Amino acid sequence: MAYWRRNSPQAEAATEPVAVTPPPAPVPEAVRPVPKTPRTRMMRQYDLVDRVRSYNPDTDEDLLNQAYVYAMKAHGEQKRASGDPYFSHPLEVAAILTDLKLDDATIVAALLHDTIEDTEATRTEIDSLFGPEIGALVEGLTKLKRLELVSREAKQAENLRKLLLAIADDVRVLLIKLADRLHNMRTLEFVPPASRRRIAEETLDIYAPLAGRMGMQEMREELEDLAFQTLDPEAHAVVMQRLNSLADRNHNLIEEIESELSARLASEGMHARVVGRRKRPFSIWTKMERKSVGFEQLSDIFGFRIVMNSVEACYRALGIVHTTWPVVPGRFKDYISTPKQNDYRSIHTTVIGPGNQRVELQIRTEDMDQIAEYGIAAHAFYKDGVGSPTEFVKRESNAFAWLRHTIEILSESANPEEFLEHTKLELFHDQVFCFTPKGKLIALPRNANVIDFAYAVHTDVGNSAVGCKINGKFAALSSELQNGDEVEVLTSGVQLAPPSAWETLARTGKARAAIRRATRTAVRGQYAALGRRIVERLFSRAKIEYADDKLTGALPRLARSTIEEVMASVGRGELKASDVARAMYPDYKEERVNRFGDKKSLAVKLRLKAPNEPPRHPVAIPIRGLNSDLPIKFAPNGGAVPGDRIVGIVSPGEGITIYPIQSPALKDFEEEPERWLDVRWDVDDVTPQRFPARLLVENVNEPGSLAQVATVIAEHDGNIDNISMSRRSPDFTELTIDLEVYDLKHLSAIIAQLRAKAVVARVERVNG
C-alpha cells in the first residue's frame, strides 16, 4: 500500500497554493525550529480533485474545493512543530485517504478534522456549510476539552471512549483518525521529546493494534515501525543494520525466489502473481523477544505472497508448493477456512525453498489480498447504491461487527482507567482458535484460558461456570488454551455470580468486564436486600404500611429511578430509612429515641438480656454468616459467635458490622442510634458454619507449651486463623489467638479445656 508521502512525485510536482492570509512575521533564528526534512510542498486544489477523480469520476469538485479553501483560511497562520503551515497536516491526511479510495465526505472531513478543535470554527458552521453528515464526522474526531479529570490516563481514556463511540456510528471516523495518527507519526521528530514518547506509546498500545484489528495491515506495520523507532532507537538501528547486511549478502534473492515460484506454478498451468518482501524491523524485534532467539536464528525474514484468481487455485498452488519443496513442520495455518476476526483470509506455510532458504508463503485471492492490505477500507464507499458506508461495512465486515460489540462492552466500564485497560486488552493480542463440543469456532487471544472461553460463548455460561473439560479431560478453569482445543464448560444453575478473583485470571476485556459487572450486580443486590429489611423494619415499628407501588410514586422525591436503587442506597447508608418513610408519608415524624427510651442506655439495657433470649421484635434481621445474602462482617477485634447477643452497626458503603452486645466498641456509636440494627442469629443446623472469635492466653514459657495449646484447639475441632505472641515477663508468654468456632458452647468448651492445662495460666475471651 503506497501512501502519499511528502517526498513523493505528486508532492514534488505540486506548487505552493496562493496565500490567503498575510505572511507571518519572521521568527528569530534562536527560537526557530530546525527542520530535519525538506518542507512540505502542499497540493493545489486541482491536485487533490484529480486524485479523487482518478477513482471516483463522479466526485463533487465544488465540495472538495470549498473544503480546501475553508480549512486553509480557518487554520490561517497556524504552524506545526516542523515550521510547516498547519494546513499541510489535514491536507496530507486527506491525501493518505485518497490512496484508500474513500468517498468525498471522508476526504472533506479529513480536510476539516482539526477545525472545531483548533480554530474558531463550530459544529453549527460546519453543518451549515458542508452538511450534518460531514459535521458529525468532524465532531467525532474532536477531542473533549476542559476535562476535569485527575490523571492523564483518565483524559486519554475519555477521549478514546468518545472516539470509539463515534466510530460505532460511522466507520469513516476510524479511517480518518488512523490517517491522522499516521501522518503525525511520520512527522514525530519535530515534537518535543516528552510528548514524542507519549504519542509513540499511545500509538503502539492503541492505534496500531486498532488498525490491525480492522485488517489494515500495511498501516498497522508502518505505525508500529515509526513508534518502535521512537521508543527504542538503538534496537531499531541494530535490526536495520542486520537487515541491510543480509540484503547485501543475498543480493537479488527476493527476485530469484519470486521468479522460481512463478515458473513452478506456470509449469502446472497456473497463473499467479508472486510478490516478495522482507519483514519490518518491529515485527522482527518482537519475534526475537517473544521466542528469545537471535537475529541469525530467525527463519522467516523473507515473506512471499502468492495471489491466485480463485479459492480452488489457492489450494492447488499449496499442493504444488508442498510437493516441490520440503515443508517446515508446525508452520501451516489455514485462515481461508477459519478467517481471523478482522476478515483476514490466507493460507500460511513455510518451506525450504529455492537455494535452501526458508521461505514463508501466503497464498490468497485478489479479493483476499485487498482486504489483507486495506481491511475495512477495501470496500468501495464511493460507489452508488451501497447504502451508508457504515451500513455497508456492517454487512460486509466481521471486523467492524467485532468492534461494535467490543465498544458495547467497554462502554459499561465503571471508570476511565478501567475503560483504557480493557481497550488495550481487546486490541493488543494474537489469536488461538478453539471449539465448543458442537463444533462452533471461538477465537480468543493468545494465553486465554477457559474462563475467557466461557464468556466468549455467552455471559451466562461464564457467570455459572464451575468446571470444564478440555479435549474430553477434566481441567481447571484457569487452564491456558491451545489452537484446536475442544472445550466443554460445565455450569451450575445455583451459581449466580462468578468469584471476583476471576477478574485477575481473565485475559480478555469481555470476560473481565462481565465479571466486574456481575460482581457489582451481586454486591448491589446484597445492599438492596439489606436496605429493604431496614426499611420494612422501620415501617413495622412505626406501624405504617409499606408497599412498592406507593414507593414508586415517591421515587422523584428521593432522586432515584428504581425501587432497587432506593433500597441499595439505604443498605449502603447513603439514604436513611426515615427519608424513605417521609417521601412516602410526608407527615411521618421520626422518633429520635430507641425502643428502650433513652438512646444512651441502649448498650446497658441490651446487656441485661439473657444470651439465648428470643428477640423482642420479629423484624430483627437474621444473620447467617459471611456467605449470606447480606453485606456483613464481624467485629474486627474479637468477632461474634452464635449464642452471643448481637447488635448490628450500619457503616456507609460497608454494610453491617456484627458486634456482641458486651463489646466495648459499641460505646463509639451511642450518639448515633440511627445506625443500630436489631439482628438475630439464623444458623443452619444441617450445614454448620464457623464464626470468628479471639482468645487471650497467658502461657508458661517452657518448651512445648505452644504445641499443647494448639493441640487442645485442634482436638476440639477449632480452627486457628491467626496467632501472635508477646513476651510479658521471662516466665510467661501472651498469645493472641484468632480462631473459628461453631457457636458459644463450642467456644466455652475450648476455653475450659485450655484452663485445665498446667502450662496455661490464664484464658480470656477478647471482645473488640
Between CA 593 and CA 614 the distance in angstroms is 22
Active site residues: 117-118
Q: Dump strand ranges (E) for 513-663.
A: 621-623, 632-634, 646-651, 655-660
Q: Say if strands 719-727 and 646-651 run parallel, antiparallel, or are unpaired.
A: unpaired
Interacting residues of 21 by C-beta distance below 8 A, sequence separation 6+: 73, 76, 77
Residue 676 in grid coordinates: 443500630
Q: Strands 358-365 and 302-308, how do they pair?
A: parallel
Distances (CA, A) of 267 to 259, 262, 315, 325, 347: 12, 9, 16, 15, 21
Pairing of strands 621-623, 679-681: parallel
Q: Residue 116 carries which DSSP code?
A: H
- Contacts for 696 with CB less than 8 Å, ≥ 6 apart: 734, 735, 736, 737, 762, 763, 764, 765, 766
Q: Report the amino acid identity of residue 98.
A: T
- Written as nine digits, the cell of 174 is 476510524
CA 563, 566, 570, 571 dihedral sign is: positive
Contact of 754 with 699, CB cutoff 8 Å = no
> Do residues 377 and 216 touch, judged by C-beta distance below 8 A?
yes
Our separate counts of H helices and E strands in the chain read: 31, 20
Number of residues in the chain = 768
Distance CA 64, CA 35 (A): 30
Alpha carbon distance 303, 276 (integer Å): 6
DSSP code for 158: H
Alpha-carbon distance of 361 to 364, in angstroms, equals 10
CA 175 to mean position of chain CA atoms = 22
Nearest to 695 by CA among 616, 753, 629, 628: 753
- The C-alpha atoms of residue 73 and residue 620 are separated, in whole angstroms, by 74
| Sign, CA torsion 37/41/42/48 | negative
State how beta strands 760-765 and 691-700 pair.
antiparallel
Distances (CA, A) of 342 to 161, 215, 226, 372, 405: 21, 5, 23, 9, 13
Report the alpha-carbon distance of residue 340 to residue 311 in Å, rounded.
16
Cα 539 from Cα 237, distance rounded (Å): 76
| DSSP-derived secondary structure for 416-483 | HHHHHHHHHHHHS--EEEEE-TT--EEEEETT-BHHHHHHHH-HHHHHTEEEEEETTEEE-TTPBP-T
Give the residue from 69, 105, 70, 71 showing the smallest Cα distance to 90: 71
300 vs 359: CA distance, rounded Å? 6
- 90 CB contacts (<8 Å, ≥6 apart)? 71, 75, 110, 111, 112, 113, 114
**SS3 annotation, 513-527:** HHHHHHHHHHHHHHH
The alpha carbon torsion through 227, 231, 232, 233 (nearest 10 deg) reads: 70
H or E segment to which residue 616 belongs: none
